[in-house]
Amino acid sequence: MHNFQEVRSEADIPERYRDTPVGELLRYHDLGAPRDRRADKPRLLIGMCMDSRKHLRIPDNFAFILRTGGANLRLAEFRVSYAIAVGGVRAIALMGHTNCGMSGLINRRAAFVDGLVEVGWSRAAAEEHFDRLASEHEIGPEGDFIRAEARRLRALYPKVLVAPMLYRVEDDTVALLKE
């Protein structure tokens, strides 16, 4: 169970996010706020999965977007730090999604290995590649991972607002994960 809060109206945006770039993201994506003007500069860092089923409805130049498998930013800390230190963002929307391929990754080992063999890898090399790296990329249950990653990022960047979120591929909405 993901334990999330849907955003169907302005009143559904928690007070701590309401007047922040996180609140703006929810207004644009879920509430259909007009996004006809290009933002002056990025106001938000969105960390989200590389999955192709997700598309955010936000203005151009509104956010830096880092896409990694499972919205796992552990291997992208330098880029996160850059967006904060040089880009000036003070809020992160950490956005996992339902039905993520990085959850339960071990169950995809055969498909992974077969896919690499199909494009020229030896079976042994493909198996070693998966076995060596899969544990770094396995996220477990999506909601649990995003909540833990949000706590980790808050500890690393204590003055940056970090919002754990869930993109629901079933209905193309974004929800806030309850903590």
Q: How far is CA 124 from the centre of its chain?
A: 32
Helical segments of the chain, H only:
15-18, 21-29, 77-85, 109-118, 123-137, 142-156
The full set of domains in the chain, from first to last, is 4-103+140-177 (3.40.1050.10), 104-138 (no CATH)
pLDDT digits (tens, 9 = 90+) for 4-63: 889 999 999 999 999 999 999 999 999 999 887 887 889 899 999 998 888 899 999 999
CA dist 82 and 8 (Å) reads 33
pLDDT digits (tens, 9 = 90+) for 139-172: 999 999 999 999 999 999 999 999 999 999 999 9
pTM of the complete model: 0.92
